[in-house]
Protein backbone atom coordinates (compact mmCIF):
# COMPACT_ATOMS: atom_id res chain seq x y z
CA UNK A 1 0.00 0.00 0.00
CA UNK A 2 1.45 3.32 -1.09
CA UNK A 3 1.64 6.09 1.50
CA UNK A 4 0.40 9.53 0.51
CA UNK A 5 3.09 12.16 0.31
CA UNK A 6 2.72 15.25 2.44
CA UNK A 7 3.05 18.80 1.12
CA UNK A 8 6.59 18.96 2.55
CA UNK A 9 7.45 15.68 0.82
CA UNK A 10 6.20 17.13 -2.47
CA UNK A 11 8.35 20.22 -2.00
CA UNK A 12 11.42 18.09 -1.26
CA UNK A 13 10.70 15.95 -4.32
CA UNK A 14 10.32 19.01 -6.56
CA UNK A 15 13.53 20.54 -5.26
CA UNK A 16 15.47 17.31 -5.75
CA UNK A 17 14.09 16.26 -9.12
CA UNK A 18 12.53 19.40 -10.62
CA UNK A 19 15.74 20.65 -12.20
CA UNK A 20 17.76 23.83 -11.77
CA UNK A 21 14.83 26.08 -12.69
CA UNK A 22 12.81 24.80 -9.74
CA UNK A 23 15.81 25.09 -7.41
CA UNK A 24 16.35 28.71 -8.39
CA UNK A 25 12.66 29.42 -7.80
CA UNK A 26 12.90 27.73 -4.40
CA UNK A 27 15.89 29.86 -3.39
CA UNK A 28 14.18 33.05 -4.55
CA UNK A 29 10.97 32.05 -2.75
CA UNK A 30 12.66 31.31 0.58
CA UNK A 31 14.54 34.62 0.52
CA UNK A 32 11.35 36.45 -0.48
CA UNK A 33 9.35 34.94 2.40
CA UNK A 34 12.08 35.72 4.95
CA UNK A 35 12.29 39.34 3.77
CA UNK A 36 8.50 39.70 3.80
CA UNK A 37 8.28 38.43 7.39
CA UNK A 38 11.03 40.84 8.44
CA UNK A 39 9.22 43.75 6.80
CA UNK A 40 5.92 42.85 8.49
CA UNK A 41 7.54 42.71 11.94
CA UNK A 42 9.42 45.92 11.16
CA UNK A 43 6.17 47.72 10.40
CA UNK A 44 4.42 46.29 13.48
CA UNK A 45 7.20 46.95 15.97
CA UNK A 46 8.46 50.17 14.39
CA UNK A 47 11.19 52.32 15.87
CA UNK A 48 14.71 50.96 16.00
CA UNK A 49 13.71 47.50 14.80
CA UNK A 50 12.05 48.90 11.69
CA UNK A 51 15.20 50.91 10.94
CA UNK A 52 17.26 47.75 11.46
CA UNK A 53 15.09 45.83 8.95
CA UNK A 54 15.34 48.61 6.39
CA UNK A 55 19.11 48.62 6.85
CA UNK A 56 19.24 44.87 6.16
CA UNK A 57 17.15 45.26 3.01
CA UNK A 58 19.26 48.11 1.68
CA UNK A 59 22.76 47.09 2.74
CA UNK A 60 22.61 43.29 2.44
CA UNK A 61 19.99 42.38 -0.17
CA UNK A 62 20.12 45.42 -2.46
CA UNK A 63 22.60 46.56 -5.08
CA UNK A 64 23.77 50.10 -4.36
CA UNK A 65 24.25 51.82 -7.72
CA UNK A 66 26.34 54.57 -6.18
CA UNK A 67 29.96 53.47 -6.68
CA UNK A 68 31.03 54.68 -3.23
CA UNK A 69 28.21 52.73 -1.56
CA UNK A 70 28.90 49.66 -3.69
CA UNK A 71 32.56 49.52 -2.62
CA UNK A 72 31.46 49.12 1.00
CA UNK A 73 28.62 46.67 0.15
CA UNK A 74 29.95 44.65 -2.84
CA UNK A 75 27.98 41.49 -1.96
CA UNK A 76 24.83 43.23 -3.22
CA UNK A 77 25.87 42.33 -6.78
CA UNK A 78 25.05 38.70 -5.87
CA UNK A 79 22.39 38.92 -3.14
CA UNK A 80 20.23 41.34 -5.11
CA UNK A 81 19.60 38.84 -7.93
CA UNK A 82 17.84 36.53 -5.46
CA UNK A 83 15.86 39.20 -3.59
CA UNK A 84 12.42 40.74 -4.21
CA UNK A 85 10.67 43.20 -1.91
CA UNK A 86 7.14 43.22 -3.40
CA UNK A 87 4.71 40.41 -4.20
CA UNK A 88 3.99 41.51 -7.77
CA UNK A 89 7.69 41.85 -8.66
CA UNK A 90 8.39 38.40 -7.22
CA UNK A 91 5.47 36.65 -8.96
CA UNK A 92 6.18 38.14 -12.39
CA UNK A 93 9.88 37.28 -12.24
CA UNK A 94 9.27 33.73 -11.03
CA UNK A 95 6.68 33.13 -13.75
CA UNK A 96 9.11 34.34 -16.43
CA UNK A 97 11.94 32.32 -14.85
CA UNK A 98 9.84 29.15 -14.85
CA UNK A 99 8.96 29.25 -18.55
CA UNK A 100 12.36 30.53 -19.72
CA UNK A 101 14.28 28.17 -17.44
CA UNK A 102 12.34 25.06 -18.45
CA UNK A 103 12.84 25.87 -22.13
CA UNK A 104 16.53 26.53 -21.47
CA UNK A 105 16.96 23.13 -19.80
CA UNK A 106 15.57 21.44 -22.91
CA UNK A 107 18.28 23.03 -25.05
CA UNK A 108 21.18 23.14 -22.60
CA UNK A 109 22.05 21.60 -19.23
CA UNK A 110 21.14 22.57 -15.68
CA UNK A 111 24.59 23.75 -14.67
CA UNK A 112 24.73 26.10 -17.64
CA UNK A 113 21.39 27.55 -16.53
CA UNK A 114 22.80 28.33 -13.09
CA UNK A 115 25.93 30.00 -14.45
CA UNK A 116 23.96 31.99 -17.03
CA UNK A 117 21.63 33.19 -14.27
CA UNK A 118 24.50 34.32 -12.04
CA UNK A 119 26.74 35.82 -14.75
CA UNK A 120 23.78 37.59 -16.37
CA UNK A 121 22.68 39.07 -13.05
CA UNK A 122 26.17 40.26 -12.17
CA UNK A 123 26.71 41.82 -15.59
CA UNK A 124 23.34 43.57 -15.42
CA UNK A 125 24.22 44.94 -11.98
CA UNK A 126 27.58 46.30 -13.14
CA UNK A 127 25.94 47.93 -16.16
CA UNK A 128 23.51 49.70 -13.80
CA UNK A 129 26.42 50.97 -11.68
CA UNK A 130 28.26 52.13 -14.81
CA UNK A 131 25.16 53.92 -16.12
CA UNK A 132 24.66 55.74 -12.80
CA UNK A 133 28.32 56.74 -12.90
CA UNK A 134 28.22 58.08 -16.48
CA UNK A 135 24.83 59.70 -17.04
CA UNK A 136 24.18 62.96 -15.12
CA UNK A 137 20.41 62.44 -14.76
CA UNK A 138 21.02 59.14 -12.97
CA UNK A 139 23.83 60.24 -10.68
CA UNK A 140 21.51 61.69 -8.05
CA UNK A 141 19.22 58.64 -8.07
CA UNK A 142 19.97 56.40 -5.09
CA UNK A 143 17.32 53.76 -5.82
CA UNK A 144 18.50 50.31 -4.63
CA UNK A 145 18.34 47.59 -7.28
CA UNK A 146 16.78 44.22 -6.47
CA UNK A 147 15.33 41.32 -8.41
CA UNK A 148 16.22 38.50 -10.79
CA UNK A 149 15.18 40.39 -13.95
CA UNK A 150 18.71 40.77 -15.32
CA UNK A 151 19.45 37.09 -14.70
CA UNK A 152 16.21 35.99 -16.35
CA UNK A 153 16.81 38.24 -19.36
CA UNK A 154 20.21 36.55 -19.76
CA UNK A 155 18.48 33.16 -19.88
CA UNK A 156 15.84 34.40 -22.30
CA UNK A 157 18.45 36.20 -24.41
CA UNK A 158 20.48 32.99 -24.72
CA UNK A 159 17.36 31.16 -25.90
CA UNK A 160 16.42 33.87 -28.39
CA UNK A 161 19.86 34.12 -29.99
CA UNK A 162 20.47 30.37 -30.00
CA UNK A 163 17.07 29.40 -31.42
CA UNK A 164 15.73 32.65 -32.92
CA UNK A 165 13.03 30.97 -35.02
CA UNK A 166 11.63 28.87 -32.18
CA UNK A 167 8.03 29.92 -31.62
CA UNK A 168 6.15 30.33 -28.35
CA UNK A 169 2.42 30.80 -28.03
CA UNK A 170 1.87 34.24 -26.51
CA UNK A 171 -1.21 34.20 -24.26
CA UNK A 172 -1.64 30.61 -25.40
CA UNK A 173 -2.88 31.58 -28.86
CA UNK A 174 -0.46 33.85 -30.71
CA UNK A 175 2.70 32.15 -32.07
CA UNK A 176 5.69 34.51 -31.85
CA UNK A 177 9.33 33.84 -32.65
CA UNK A 178 11.69 34.14 -29.68
CA UNK A 179 13.95 36.67 -31.38
CA UNK A 180 10.99 39.01 -32.04
CA UNK A 181 9.88 38.72 -28.42
CA UNK A 182 13.42 39.43 -27.22
CA UNK A 183 13.62 42.42 -29.57
CA UNK A 184 10.37 43.79 -28.13
CA UNK A 185 11.70 43.51 -24.57
CA UNK A 186 14.99 45.20 -25.46
CA UNK A 187 13.26 47.99 -27.38
CA UNK A 188 10.93 48.60 -24.43
CA UNK A 189 13.89 48.89 -22.07
CA UNK A 190 15.80 51.18 -24.43
CA UNK A 191 12.83 53.54 -24.81
CA UNK A 192 12.34 53.61 -21.03
CA UNK A 193 15.88 54.68 -20.14
CA UNK A 194 16.28 57.90 -18.19
CA UNK A 195 13.69 60.13 -16.51
CA UNK A 196 10.26 60.78 -18.06
CA UNK A 197 8.77 64.17 -18.99
CA UNK A 198 8.17 64.89 -15.29
CA UNK A 199 11.79 64.17 -14.49
CA UNK A 200 10.92 60.92 -12.69
CA UNK A 201 12.63 57.53 -12.91
CA UNK A 202 10.20 54.62 -13.26
CA UNK A 203 12.10 52.49 -10.72
CA UNK A 204 12.87 49.65 -13.16
CA UNK A 205 16.47 48.51 -13.68
CA UNK A 206 16.41 48.81 -17.48
CA UNK A 207 20.19 48.78 -17.79
CA UNK A 208 20.29 45.51 -15.82
CA UNK A 209 17.80 44.00 -18.28
CA UNK A 210 19.91 45.11 -21.24
CA UNK A 211 23.07 43.81 -19.58
CA UNK A 212 21.40 40.46 -19.07
CA UNK A 213 20.36 40.23 -22.73
CA UNK A 214 23.91 41.09 -23.83
CA UNK A 215 25.29 38.27 -21.69
CA UNK A 216 22.66 35.91 -23.10
CA UNK A 217 23.71 36.81 -26.63
CA UNK A 218 27.44 36.46 -25.87
CA UNK A 219 26.90 33.19 -23.98
CA UNK A 220 25.78 31.32 -27.11
CA UNK A 221 28.53 32.72 -29.34
CA UNK A 222 31.18 30.12 -30.12
CA UNK A 223 29.05 27.84 -27.99
CA UNK A 224 31.08 24.67 -28.32
CA UNK A 225 34.45 26.17 -27.47
CA UNK A 226 36.11 26.02 -24.06
CA UNK A 227 36.75 29.76 -24.50
CA UNK A 228 33.01 30.49 -24.51
CA UNK A 229 32.06 32.91 -21.69
CA UNK A 230 29.82 30.49 -19.77
CA UNK A 231 32.00 27.46 -20.48
CA UNK A 232 35.05 29.32 -19.18
CA UNK A 233 33.17 30.59 -16.11
CA UNK A 234 31.88 27.09 -15.44
CA UNK A 235 35.38 25.61 -15.59
CA UNK A 236 36.67 28.26 -13.16
CA UNK A 237 33.69 27.76 -10.86
CA UNK A 238 34.05 23.99 -10.86
CA UNK A 239 37.76 24.30 -10.11
CA UNK A 240 37.07 26.57 -7.14
CA UNK A 241 34.41 24.19 -5.84
CA UNK A 242 36.81 21.25 -6.06
CA UNK A 243 39.48 23.33 -4.30
CA UNK A 244 37.19 24.19 -1.38
CA UNK A 245 35.96 20.61 -1.14
CA UNK A 246 39.53 19.37 -0.91
CA UNK A 247 40.43 22.00 1.68
CA UNK A 248 37.50 21.22 3.96
CA UNK A 249 37.19 17.50 3.27
CA UNK A 250 37.62 15.30 6.34
CA UNK A 251 39.12 12.56 4.18
CA UNK A 252 42.53 13.85 3.14
CA UNK A 253 44.03 10.51 2.18
CA UNK A 254 45.80 10.44 -1.15
CA UNK A 255 44.01 8.17 -3.57
CA UNK A 256 46.23 6.38 -6.07
CA UNK A 257 44.69 5.00 -9.21
CA UNK A 258 45.67 1.60 -10.47
CA UNK A 259 48.55 1.80 -12.87
CA UNK A 260 50.47 4.71 -11.40
CA UNK A 261 50.20 8.20 -9.96
CA UNK A 262 47.02 10.21 -10.08
CA UNK A 263 46.62 12.60 -12.94
CA UNK A 264 44.87 15.92 -13.11
CA UNK A 265 41.80 16.53 -15.21
CA UNK A 266 42.37 16.15 -18.92
CA UNK A 267 41.00 19.03 -20.98
CA UNK A 268 40.06 18.65 -24.62
CA UNK A 269 41.29 20.98 -27.29
CA UNK A 270 38.86 23.53 -28.69
CA UNK A 271 38.70 21.54 -31.93
CA UNK A 272 37.79 18.24 -30.23
CA UNK A 273 35.36 19.98 -27.90
CA UNK A 274 33.70 21.78 -30.82
CA UNK A 275 33.37 18.65 -32.92
CA UNK A 276 31.82 16.49 -30.19
CA UNK A 277 29.52 19.17 -28.83
CA UNK A 278 28.40 20.24 -32.31
CA UNK A 279 27.49 16.65 -33.17
CA UNK A 280 25.44 16.35 -29.98
CA UNK A 281 23.71 19.66 -30.66
CA UNK A 282 22.82 18.62 -34.22
CA UNK A 283 21.04 15.57 -32.81
CA UNK A 284 19.20 17.71 -30.24
CA UNK A 285 18.22 20.26 -32.91
CA UNK A 286 16.73 17.52 -35.09
CA UNK A 287 14.72 16.21 -32.15
CA UNK A 288 13.46 19.71 -31.30
CA UNK A 289 12.50 20.32 -34.91
CA UNK A 290 10.57 17.07 -34.88
CA UNK A 291 8.75 18.18 -31.71
CA UNK A 292 7.82 21.54 -33.27
CA UNK A 293 6.41 19.80 -36.36
CA UNK A 294 4.78 16.66 -34.95
CA UNK A 295 4.70 17.05 -31.16
CA UNK A 296 6.53 15.33 -28.32
CA UNK A 297 4.57 12.07 -28.70
CA UNK A 298 6.05 11.56 -32.17
CA UNK A 299 9.51 10.94 -30.69
CA UNK A 300 10.92 7.44 -30.45
CA UNK A 301 11.96 6.02 -27.10
CA UNK A 302 15.63 6.59 -27.95
CA UNK A 303 14.98 10.23 -28.91
CA UNK A 304 13.11 10.84 -25.66
CA UNK A 305 16.02 9.37 -23.70
CA UNK A 306 18.52 11.60 -25.53
CA UNK A 307 16.42 14.69 -24.75
CA UNK A 308 15.96 13.62 -21.13
CA UNK A 309 19.67 12.98 -20.63
CA UNK A 310 20.51 16.35 -22.19
CA UNK A 311 18.18 18.19 -19.77
CA UNK A 312 19.61 16.26 -16.80
CA UNK A 313 23.26 16.79 -17.69
CA UNK A 314 25.12 19.01 -15.27
Say what the pLDDT of residue 250 is: 56
264 vs 136, residue with greater confidence: 136
- Indicate the range of 3-17, 56-70, 270-284 predicted with least confidence: 270-284
Coil vs helix vs strand at 175? strand
Q: What is the dihedral of CA 85, 91, 93, 98, to 10 degrees?
A: 140
- Residues shown for the chain: 314
Interval 77-85 mean pLDDT: 95
Q: Give the whole-angstrom CA distance, residue 95 versus residue 144.
A: 23
Name residue 51's beta-bridge partners.
none
- For residue 198, the model assigns a pLDDT of 45
Domain with CATH 1.20.1540.10 in the chain: 7-232
Pick one of 1.10.630.10, 3.40.50.300, 3.40.50.2300, 1.20.1540.10 as the CATH number of 7-232.
Answer: 1.20.1540.10
Query: Residue 282, Cβ neighbours under 10 Å: how many?
Result: 10
Distance of CA 114 to the CA centre of its chain: 5
DSSP class of residue 30? Answer: H
Amino acid sequence: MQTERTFIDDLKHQYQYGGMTIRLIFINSIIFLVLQVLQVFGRLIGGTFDSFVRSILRNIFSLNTDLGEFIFHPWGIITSIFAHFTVWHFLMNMLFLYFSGKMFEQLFDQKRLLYTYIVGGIAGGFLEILAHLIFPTLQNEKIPIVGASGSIMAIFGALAFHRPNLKVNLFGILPVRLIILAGFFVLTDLLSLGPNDLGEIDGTAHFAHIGGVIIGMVSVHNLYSSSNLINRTQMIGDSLIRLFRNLFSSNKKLKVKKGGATRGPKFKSDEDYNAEAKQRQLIIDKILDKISKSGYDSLTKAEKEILFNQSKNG
